[in-house]
């Protein structure tokens, strides 16, 4: 991601203009971070996409898929079945309609610049300020990164302002090898739900 020196007001206007596409007219969600403009902008974009698709009311997965197909910002993510990708300033954001819900993904460390888009704490604070409530305790697990090496994942469960269970997975190490995901459980569970997150190949 390129570095920008635009005033924060201009950055906010640019972000809002982009995100007001046919997927929704909501304003960008505020972030709790006091980081550099690039960080807060990336976090705002991520949360706004999640709000427009994963928080929005859809009757079922098919209606969510149709909404993404109709949004000119998105295209199918190469190599990932059922995942829709949009790029802002060279950063890829993805929305995945799943059997039992909706996932928003982003690789939080930019390989081109080596910078982390936003931290785990910044994401947590932004969710709390957006009306999410923490459920239970934070946990961690090991998973395989894109290079088939082990990554430690921090997990936290929230309840959204709409009452939907929402799971945050954030790579505690090697954040350029594992997509951060925010999953909202929206639909009735199938017997064997399968994730379409970019981490599942």
3-46 tens-digit pLDDT: 333 333 333 333 333 443 433 333 333 333 333 344 569 999 99
Paired tokens of 14: 């640019």
pLDDT given for residue 190 in this prediction: 52
pLDDT given for residue 53 in this prediction: 97
CA distance 29 to 20: 12
Residue 74 vs residue 188, higher pLDDT? 74
pLDDT given for residue 22 in this prediction: 37
Tens of pLDDT, residue by residue over 91-149, are 999 999 999 999 999 999 988 888 999 999 999 999 999 999 999 999 999 999 999 99
Residue 122 vs residue 2, higher pLDDT? 122
Which residues fall within 8 angstroms of residue 153, CB to CB, at 6 or more apart? 140, 141, 142, 143, 169, 170, 171, 172, 178
Tens of pLDDT, residue by residue over 156-176, are 999 999 999 999 999 999 999
CA distance 103 to 95: 6
Q: What is the mean pLDDT of residues 73-84?
A: 94
Burial 149-170 (b: 16+ CB within 10 A, else e): eebebbebbbebeeebebbbbb
pLDDT given for residue 112 in this prediction: 80
Tens of pLDDT, residue by residue over 181-198, are 999 999 876 544 444 556
Contact assessment for residue 44 and residue 129, using Cβ atoms and an 8 Å cutoff: no
Contact assessment for residue 54 and residue 66, using Cβ atoms and an 8 Å cutoff: no
pLDDT at 77 over 80: yes
Cα 49 to Cα 55, 122, 173, 188, 193: the distances in Å are 9, 17, 25, 22, 23
pLDDT given for residue 107 in this prediction: 96
Burial 70-99 (b: 16+ CB within 10 A, else e): ebebbeebeebeebbbbebeebebbbbbbb
pLDDT given for residue 37 in this prediction: 40
């Amino acid at each position: 991601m390129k570095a920008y020196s635009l005033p924060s007001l201009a950055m906010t206007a640019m972000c809002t203009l982009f995100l007001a596409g046919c997927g929704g007219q909501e304003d960008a969600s505020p972030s709790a971070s006091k980081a550099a403009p690039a960080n807060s902008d990336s976090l705002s974009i991520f949360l706004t996409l999640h709000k427009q698709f994963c928080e929005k009311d859809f009757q079922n997965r098919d209606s969510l898929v149709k909404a993404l197909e109709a949004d000119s910002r998105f295209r199918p993510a190469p190599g990932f079945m059922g995942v829709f990708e949009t790029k802002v300033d060279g950063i890829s954001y993805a929305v995945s309609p799943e059997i039992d819900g909706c996932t928003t993904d982003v690789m939080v460390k930019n390989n081109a610049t080596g910078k982390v888009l936003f931290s785990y704490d910044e994401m947590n604070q932004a969710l709390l300020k957006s009306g999410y409530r923490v459920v239970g305790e934070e946990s961690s697990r090991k998973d395989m990164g894109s290079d088939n090496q082990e990554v430690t994942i921090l997990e936290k469960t929230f309840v959204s302002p709409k009452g939907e269970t929402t799971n945050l997975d954030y790579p505690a190490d090697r954040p350029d090898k594992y997509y951060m995901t925010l999953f909202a459980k929206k639909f009735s569970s199938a017997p064997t739900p399968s994730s379409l997150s970019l981490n599942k190949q």
